[in-house]
Amino acid sequence: MATGSRDGEPQTGQDLGSADAPTVRSPAALIEYEMYSDLMSTPEMRSVFSETSTLRAWLKTWAAMAEAQAEHGLIPKEAAVRIVEVSGSLTLSGAELAAETRSVGRATVPVLQRLRAAVGKDFANHVHVGSTTQDIMDTGLALQMKQGLDLLDRDTTVLMQKLIELARSHKSTVMAGRTNGLQAAPITFGLKAAGWLSEITRGRDRLKLARSRALMVQLGGPVGTFDVIGSKGIAVRASMARILGLGTQPVGWYTSRDGIAEMLFAIGLLASALGHMAVETGLLVRTEIDEVREGGGGAGRGRSSAMPQKSNPRSTEYVEGLSRAIQSKAAGLYAILWQSNERSGGVWIAEWPLVPEHFLLASSALRHANELIGGLVVNKGKMLANLNLDGGAVLSEAFAGALAPLLGRTQAYEFIKASVQRARTQNRSVASVISEAIEITGQLSGVDLDRLLDPGQHVGLSAELVDLACTEAEVSLRS
């Protein structure tokens, strides 16, 4: 039996391939699927870049422009008051604008028509004076990006605070350090978490710098010369920027998109730091390693459709997957940088989806990362047990260093290498083979040997490095 349709989606039982089956959401916009949207974005970020918010940002831009122009005597103050009032209350929908937008190619044209009509004939001619479509759309986008960056910064701040706590609480939790996939020498889990923290701290700092060059008012008219506004154009732009809480550039950035690209690259680098963390936790969560586990997400999180024993690391995989999705868009950022003449619609249009996609995907990657770190279960016992998987060979560097004063560095290295091979062949611990070797008989006391066999004595300056990373992050958070 067919059920009611929603948002223009076909009813149950309707031929999905028929021409009469309207489709609102498609695989090309998977992020818009209701069943996936909260996994691949966040409601708050979707609100920032929604059609409604886009229209509001444009209307806010027109209002600020009128207010700034009235401030400098270019339009009557009563006209600005009316424009600000109507811009703040005018309600529009994408559906009513769709047909005209398809015809014109820019939604700003039908929106402007409705704004002028709502303002009334006495003041209609004072709307959009000396401006052009890209002035409105770029400034509106800057307002949306400002909101989006605030959300990203908020969630990055929370994540950094969680990582500071994680790193400090485990700065003495010993685990195997691994290089090229193999155990190398002991480290602490706190040091690993501090590495994640330091990379994410740099990502946040980059975004702060990028926003200072990307959140700019756009105003100048058809070719950016202020020809219609005249000699007060630069002052009007400054006033408009003050009203909107944005910055200005000396020359219009109609075809100079480096600010946008830098900001999106910064988002990509932050996402890459999250992805790096997820790749690492994805390795440590493996059954054979089992040094960490995901503990958040509630009942049923990660449940397998076929295997009852599995609780899949969903936060880990979504952080990695979303970060990779952002990385895949890097080529598009280079493509938007070379634009010809004073404005270039074709390249500009290619930019339109890139901005919201970066913000939407990054918002969800951060949310999943916060769930991951906030609920991470650290298995200290398994970390210690894994240090002995190869008979304690992970301490070989420490063994060689301790014996170097007795045997000479080269001879100590060769002696330990041979002892490791002997231990593996005989299925024994490296320590037992060394303790029986005539080369060191009587050379090490029981106390010295016990210290040598304690992995916690061989983590170097791990604790100090953790403190440095946490302090750096705290300084960043205060700035």
Give the Å distances, CA to CA, from 211 to 134, 150, 214, 332, 390.
20, 10, 5, 19, 49
Q: Which residue in this structure is represented by tokens 């349709």?
A: 5
Strand 377-378 vs strand 292-293: parallel, antiparallel, or unpaired? antiparallel
Nearest to 396 by CA among 382, 408, 412, 380: 412
Catalytic pick from 256, 304, 328, 432?
A: 304
Annotated catalytic residue 343: yes
Q: Is 6 helix (H, G, I), strand (E, B) or coil?
A: coil
Strand 292-293 vs strand 174-179: parallel, antiparallel, or unpaired? unpaired
Please give the Cα distance from 135 to 375 (Å, whole number): 45
Query: Do the Cβ atoms of 203 and 273 come closer than 8 Å?
Result: yes
Name residues whose C-beta falls within 8 Å of residue 58's C-beta, 6 or more positions apart in sequence.
Answer: 108, 111, 136, 137, 140
Please give the Cα distance from 82 to 77 (Å, whole number): 9
Name the H helices within 120-173. Answer: 133-169
List strand residue ranges (DSSP E) for 351-475, in order: 377-378
Query: Do the Cβ atoms of 257 and 250 come closer than 8 Å?
Result: no
Query: Do the Cβ atoms of 111 and 92 come closer than 8 Å?
Result: yes
Catalytic pick from 25, 213, 242, 343?
A: 343
Query: Do the Cβ atoms of 270 and 327 come closer than 8 Å?
Result: no
Query: Do the Cβ atoms of 280 and 195 come closer than 8 Å?
Result: no
Annotated catalytic residue 198: no
Task: Find the helix or strand (DSSP H, E) in which 179 lies.
Answer: strand 174-179
Query: Do the Cβ atoms of 383 and 297 come closer than 8 Å?
Result: no
Please give the Cα distance from 19 to 10 (Å, whole number): 11
Query: Do the Cβ atoms of 381 and 363 come closer than 8 Å?
Result: no
Query: Do the Cβ atoms of 129 and 69 come closer than 8 Å?
Result: yes
Query: Do the Cβ atoms of 201 and 473 come closer than 8 Å?
Result: yes
Task: Find the helix or strand (DSSP H, E) in which 292 lies.
Answer: strand 292-293
Question: What residues are labeled active site?
Answer: 304, 343
